[in-house]
A and B are shown apart, each in its own frame.
Chain A
Amino acid sequence: MKTAANGLWPLRFKLNGKRVSKNVKPTQTLLDCLRLEFGLTGTKGACLEGECGSCYVLVDGRPMNSCMMLAPQVQGREVMTIEGLAHGKNLDVIQQKFIECGAVQCGYCTPGLIVAAKALLAANPHPSRAEFLVGMEGNICRCTGYNKILRACELAADQMGLTK
């Protein structure tokens, strides 16, 4: 672990498909680093102790609570945030289904939920209802009551199955 003379850490990693580098405080959380250093504010902090999933990002394809990681932990790895999901105006099918199903209310949990669903469906393209519930239980939503979120995820899985 080398730090530069000014106490900053020379962070290099792949962010939403692009190689990036920045000198960061080694004690900064990945969440704050993404938001304050890279201006990617789509990833949200809510509980800040790994309980609510609002800050989920994909690290090498796995959903991680970015509030519980320090920025240097992603050195040389690949990070995907909510901003990396859509291709221009073409939204990811999970984003589309969340919007269509009314699974978005205050929207604060939405990026984390979409990232969680993305990871779940990448690992298991045809989850059962029970597998969905286990896969999404790490995300707290205070507004919707989850019914529409579950429906959005199931419809997204259906559509992804059809287009494959």
Chain B
Amino acid sequence: MSKSTDALDKQIAALHVTARSSSAYERKQMKVVGRGAQRLDAVGKATGETKYGQDLFRKGFLFAKALRAAHPHAEILGIDVREAKKVPGVAAVLTHKDVPGTNLHGLIRRDQEVLCSKKVRYLGDALALVVAKDEEIAEAALKKIKVDYKPLPALFTMEDALKPDAPKIHAEGNVLGEKHLRTGDAPKVMATADVVVEDVIQTQSVDHAFLDLEAGRARWDGKMLTIEVSGQWLHEERRLIALALGLPLEKLRIIQPATGGAFGGREDISIQIYLGLCALKLRGKAICMRYSRAESMIVRHKRHPIRVHYKLGAKKDGTLVAAQVTFYVDKGAYASTGIAVMRKASSHATGPYKVPNVWVDVIGVFTNNNPCGAMRGFGAAQTAIAYEGLMDRLAAKLGMDMAELRMKNLVTSGDAVTTGQIVPHATAVECFEAVLQRIGWSNRSYRTPAPHLKRGYGVSIICFGLGYGDGFPDASRARCRLTKDGIVELYSSGVDVGQGLINMVSQIAAEEIGVPLEKVRPILADTQLTPESGSTSATRQTYFTGSAVQLAAAELKKQLQDIAAAHLKELVYEIQIENGEAYNAVHPGKRLTLKELAREGTRRGFSLDATSVFKPPTMPEDTQTGQSMRAFVTYLFGSHACQLLVDTETGEVRIERYIACHDVGRAINPDQVIGQIQGGVTQGIGMALMEEVVLKNGKILNPGFTDYILPTIRDVPEIECIVLENPDPGGPFGARGVGEPPLIGTGPAILSAIYDAIGKPVHELPATPERIWRTISS
């Protein structure tokens, strides 16, 4: 098996390397890639000029508002909108009867109605839309809509939902699906293992809490329905909207406004179909819509709360021999991306550790809570908390140093990870050594200023499969063209949600062609103009779209070299393009500017326009064993270390030092890489210590930032970043990606340090002062 994987790896690596024009020599001479060029959109953002969804509203636009379910689980017997329609200033009141298409959406399964017709399954379900002159009128009209419900018994826990006589939330039952992974014979080996540790860890519901609330506008002119709402995958949104509204794709245009954060929270459809429907019914009118923070939190999907039963067996010397893991995943009311999250949990069940015998079951259970879906870390974040937590418990039981135990079991180059995939270049050890050295592991001090303050140290290691993998036909496309003004226009549908994609693609194009960054004009995220680039998720944009851009840029460069060679009457392989000028590198003489090249191209009838597709293959995981020779296109490695103080009287935690090391392959823009690491760690601090969506009977008790606690500047220490660059053969200039791993490493490192400080593990997230205090007191 490993042989054929090796062969495949080589084939793919060779494919990519030969497709790229950059020689090793050129890489050393990079002028744009590897530099912390200033964000191209920073000035607009710092002056307030940049337009986000809500900034597109104008006086005179109509406002849309949605009626939400009054019960978490109920049959709809009737909806009466007659009174609402009579409210002065109301332009339309719409229900499922007005939806011309399937009225369904959902990223993997189309199981969610846009406007519910027969049943509501959680309090965020919509039943009707009102369009009015202003929001107050719309609000007043919503109150006039009469819905006749037959409340059904609602299910708020997985236990209740799994009972044989439980009411069915969906026709097929309350189990969304199962995932399994089997290698070796875990039960047999576990029974004879020298040491076994076992525990149950419960993670919580987390909100993305991006600041830029769902908002946007739409207009239907009879030929084209234009929707401007921030999402994470324009073309998929266009497909879902088109199906739901029964509109051909070519009549639908999606434009991404500036986007104030996403973190997975814009993967599911939000207001796009509502806006599209209202616009279709009110031809020629501009419609706008925005959520309040409460509506945003009540409606949007969440990070899956997962209960992990984890059993880990080892030899006396600490060598891991078996793992048995069951994940119970609260899906909430709809499938969303749940199956993919469950699969990411199973495929990362043992993280960076070599375990020869593994048994994993993942069960996704529908409840009448908020749907759960994508959020930075996507199942791998919850899993890391479990496997690292068990490593700490094992170290304690063996009386071994937690770092020594981990080092002993880490995957190294040529080892297989949980899915059986061989990782040819594993740098887990390198990352781990870097953080241990930086924090001074062997000289760590437990002396504190007062006896009630206990110090703890924690570590974590990340091994993360990039992209969707699993045989999904994932692809990014890009286009580069030279305008007559000598500007390289770069087209991609990748969305910049704040992470810095705009610089990533521009710096890659500039470097590849040999032009200064200011000669590149990125044109992003408009389905009329830009080719499909897949989703901004799964840490995939640098690797996928970055590669597509590099390929298109390389092709454009060749076209420019051909033109230059013809014009200069030189040999094409002697033509160099540097700093926006083409010249003979062997016999430097006349130089052609980009503008001259463009003119010369036009004169000779060449369009100077290149497109590309980057579509590296992966292989589906076996449904029974979860094994795949190429479950993911590549793996990312990182390691974190944390030093903190616990106040044993109050349970409060103060993080004293935080170190994060990530092997990003190549930092296309090192400043942005550090921004991603620091931001990811901060979200991880939130998840570990304070963030929790509190649900009672399907209702969110803290739908706002007063009670949903987010990290502030006072909660975040200096985050010391170590960026390693071991190039990936498939990534652009060797880049891998960095989006999710920083978050994944943080929760486990902090929990590990709390355990180290107080001598007992916290089982439930977040580790609030109360939970820590109760753990100490128990």
Contacts and interface: CB of A to CB of B under 8 A. Distances in A.
B55 interface: yes
Interface string A45-67: 11111011010000000000000
A35 B290 CA distance: 14
B210 interface: yes
B258 interface: yes
Given A45-B54, A47-B293, A144 B263 contact: no
Residue of B39, B258, B497 with most partner-chain A CB within 10 A: B39
Contacts of B44: 107
A145 B681 contact: yes
Interface in B474-531: 497-500
**Residue of A41, A100, A144, A147 with most chain B CB atoms under a 10 A cut-off:** A147
B704 interface: yes
B657 to A, nearest CB: 13
Nearest to B680: A145
The contact size tier of chain A is 35 or more
B716 A147 contact: yes
Interface string B23-56: 0000000000000101101111111111110110
Contacts of A41: 48, 51, 54-55
A143 interface: yes
Nearest to B259: A106
Interface string A122-147: 00000000000110111111111111
B110 to A, nearest CB: 30
Interface residues of B, number: 56
B165 interface: no
A30 interface: no
B211 A144 contact: no
B716 A99 contact: no
A138 to B, nearest CB: 8
A35 B51 CA distance: 12
Contact of B261 (A47, A51, A143): A143
A118 interface: no
Q: Which of A51, A82, A143, A146 has the most chain B CB atoms inside 10 A of its CB?
A: A143
B4 interface: no
A42 B48 contact: yes
B383 interface: no
B1 interface: no
B713 A150 contact: yes
B681 A99 contact: no
Interface of B: 36, 38-39, 41-52, 54-55, 57, 59, 209-213, 258-261, 263, 292-293, 497-500, 671-672, 674-675, 677-683, 704-706, 710, 712-714, 716, 718-719
Given A49-B704, A139-B712, 15 more contacts: A41-B48, A41-B51, A46-B212, A48-B292, A83-B47, A91-B47, A98-B42, A102-B36, A102-B38, A133-B714, A137-B713, A142-B679, A143-B498, A147-B678, A148-B675
11 contacts: A41-B48, A42-B49, A44-B54, A99-B46, A104-B46, A110-B45, A111-B46, A143-B498, A145-B716, A145-B719, A148-B674
Rank and list the top 8 A-B pairs by shortest CB-CB distance, nearest first: A42-B48, A106-B498, A107-B45, A108-B260, A145-B678, A145-B682, A41-B55, A51-B705
